[in-house]
Amino acid sequence: MKRTPRFGEPDPAELARLLPAPGDPELPRDRHRRLEDAFMAHIQRDQSATATEPAPAPDRARRPVRGRPRRPVLIGVPAALALAGVAVVALTGTGGSGGPGAPAPVAAPVVRIQTGSTVALAATVEHIADAAGREALPTPRPDQFIYVRSEVSSAYTEENLEHDTSRTLVEPLHGRECWQSPDGHKGWLEEPGYQPKGGITLDSDITRDSYDETRALPTEPGALLKKIYGRTDHQTDRDQQAFDIIGDIVGEQLVPARTAAALYRAAARIPGVVVVEHSQDAVGRDGIALARLDPGTGERKEWIFDRDTFAYLGSRGVQVGTGQDIRPGTVTERTAILERAVVDKERQHPATPGKAS
């Protein structure tokens, strides 16, 4: 990274005048969490690449962010980049141009917006919950790891402040492998091209939606939903926060069968949840989706299920609303869960690839 020589202490008032006005700092819970993950990954990536990576040209600079702050605001943009008139706004998912060797981003795909409906919501959720409740899943020992393999892609907006222009780009579809201990304290993430070579540690004193925590959740939908809402705040739409919390749990985690069934039944009680008859995950598998439109961002998050077996396939984010300088129909995030398993060691692969649950 190029550094600007310092000629004395900067005048705060002058800096405030030069920098653009800050956007709305309020981020949904899952977006804030992933933004924190991105910040730590970004630091580790920079440390691993400092000796060999040339500094980017100022007009092409980007900030990779693992988060879904959908509002078009400046997120942690260094003053030098802001003054140069370039900023990157993460939309969702793995965010940004990645580290050395990452494939070049491309224009974000745009799809026809499918209309959501509540007509078949109750019946669809019962099919999904019944399938989840009958799933035969392994129970990990405390010394084992939960392994999840997926394909992911996410979009971000590159804004040129000097010329008042922007464009929405997307990462090429790429692989992601995650290992997590049942208690959530240990873990490892490999995402070639978007994390340092060899991966990064997810070890943490803070556990978030770990297997052990998820297993302890109530399995009665009403009590479960009350507990989910207890984790929300009043900074953004609480219904959307609740939907996002459940989406995080059922995404990159192994969820006990009874708990998974209860989570889907609880999600059906959240105002605004609809059924979208046709959606596609990151690898193109067509399915039916439970979805909700975030009123603050205009993004609709879709959980996609196999049309015949009702097994969870992945997720998709689609910009539905207007007013965010993002074309309606833009796909902001795509994931596809390809495998879930229990392994004995961190970074160990399953002996036989298993069916995604």
For residue 263 the two structure tokens come to 């989570």
pLDDT tens figures, 127-175? 999 999 999 999 999 999 999 999 999 998 888 888 888 888 999 999 9
- Torsion of Cα atoms, 217 then 66 then 282 then 133, to 10°: 0
Question: Looking at the predicted structure, is the pLDDT value of residue 75 above 80?
Answer: no
Model pLDDT for residues 245-265, shown as the tens digit of each residue: 999 999 999 999 999 999 999
For the ranges 89-103, 202-216, 225-239, the lowest mean pLDDT is seen at: 89-103
Using alpha carbons, select from 355, 15, 48 the residue that is nearest to residue 199: 48
Residue 242 CB-density burial (10 A; 0-12 exposed, 13-18 middle, 19+ buried) = buried
Q: Is the dihedral of CA 357, 118, 32, 197 positive or negative?
A: positive
Domain boundaries, the chain: 25-107, 116-152+172-343
- Share of residues in the chain with pLDDT > 90 (%): 61
H helix or E strand, kind and range, residue 278: strand 274-280
Question: Is the sign of the CA dihedral 241, 89, 105, 331 positive or negative?
Answer: positive
CA distance 254 to 259: 10
pLDDT at 18 > cutoff 90:
no
Token digits for 108?
């974000």
Quick one: pLDDT at residue 308?
Answer: 98
Q: Which runs of consecutive H residues, i.e. helices, occur in 134-256?
A: 211-215, 221-229, 238-251
Q: What's the Cα-to-Cα distance from 246 to each of 143, 239, 266, rounded to whole Å?
A: 26, 11, 9
Counting Cα atoms < 13 Å in the Cβ hemisphere of 326 gives 33
Instruction: Give the global pTM.
Output: 0.75
Q: Which of 21-35, 187-201, 322-336 has the highest mean pLDDT?
A: 187-201
Q: Which one, of 53, 348, 65, 71, lies nearest residue 186 by Cα?
A: 348
* Residue 16: count of CB within 10 angstroms of its CB: 9
